[in-house]
A = this chain, B = another copy of it.
Amino acid sequence: MLLSEVATHLKSDFIGDDLEIGSMNELSLASHTQLTFATHKKYAATLSSSQAKAFLIPQNLIEYLPEGSSYIVCEDVSISMAYATKLFAPKLIDFDAKDVVVGDGSFVDTMAKVENGAVIGRDVTIMAGSYIGSNVVIGDRTTIYPNVTIYRDCVIGSDCIIHASTIIGADGFGFSHTKQGEHIKIYQNGNVVIEDDVEIGANCAIDRAVFNSTLIKKGVKFDNFIHIAHNCEIGEYSIFVAQSGVGGSTKLGRNCVVSGQSAFSDHLDIAPFSTFSARSGVTKSIAKSGGVYSGYPLMDHREWRRLQAKIAKLNS
């Protein structure tokens, strides 16, 4: 889509050369064929060094644009960005994609739905009631239990096991908010990538990225009811016990252990080999690897135990 067409949809003018735009991305990651955006002066330096050529920006950031940029000046960049994501959203189903490819030795139940463009590896099992979206890739020897849904464009590794009713690649939870209190959907145009040897329990939900990928790395194991928000990255061999959740863009290092009903805020960076006891509530990044934590607010596990003993004494 041409930048001029984006401007028309946003009912704005654009300034600079017209450009063919392939997709959108966040400021620090956008390439020269992607449309990006800056919402606030605090991003001025990132804006100035951006590789992108096309921008949605407020009036007061024009001066920080890289030389030769094309741009659309927006009254509310966050709202315009949300509307723009809709223009780049892929269709729900890509009917025109190539025929499904299924590797030797694979079993796809006749009551599973596999959309065009999907590529299924060797010795894969896809059971009844599952849905494999357009252009999904599934590696060798992976098992998809019944009633699993994998949204379009997601990638599943080899030797994975995905249990029933788990959802891979539903939309991340992202909206821009109008002054009237309405919520404008930010279309989630990224995907989910699951590496090899991952097992995901029943009734989990791993959301697709708004741009780029939500990433579940090699050897991760999820119990049931795990919620992973958009753009998270879960490190190799990490383990999540039931009913835990991770907020958007949070990254865990390798071999983290997360006990049941725990939760992480968004945009955190968690060191590898961190262990969280049941119902941990993690709201800050953790830089030092190998710690053991408990509680909400979170603290060192031994400290939490001492604190609980102190609290119990209040009653005596």
- A residues whose Cβ falls under 8 Å from a Cβ of B: 92-93, 107, 109, 111, 113, 125, 127-131, 143, 145-147, 149, 151, 161, 163-165, 167, 170-171, 173, 175, 181-183, 185, 199, 201-205, 207, 219, 221, 223-225, 227, 229, 237, 239, 241-243, 245, 247, 254-255, 260-261, 263, 265, 278-279, 281, 283, 296-297, 299, 303, 306-308, 310-312, 314-315
Contact = CB atoms under 8 A, between A and B. Distances in A.
Nearest to A113: B128
A114 to B, nearest CB: 9
B181 A170 contact: no
B202 A224 contact: no
A278 B279 contact: no
Contact of A127 (B93, B243, B265): B93
Contacts of A241: 173
A260 B279 contact: no
A274 B50 CA distance: 39
Given A151-B164, A183-B239, A255-B181, A145 B170 contact: yes
Contacts of A227: 223-225, 242-243
A315 B306 CA distance: 7
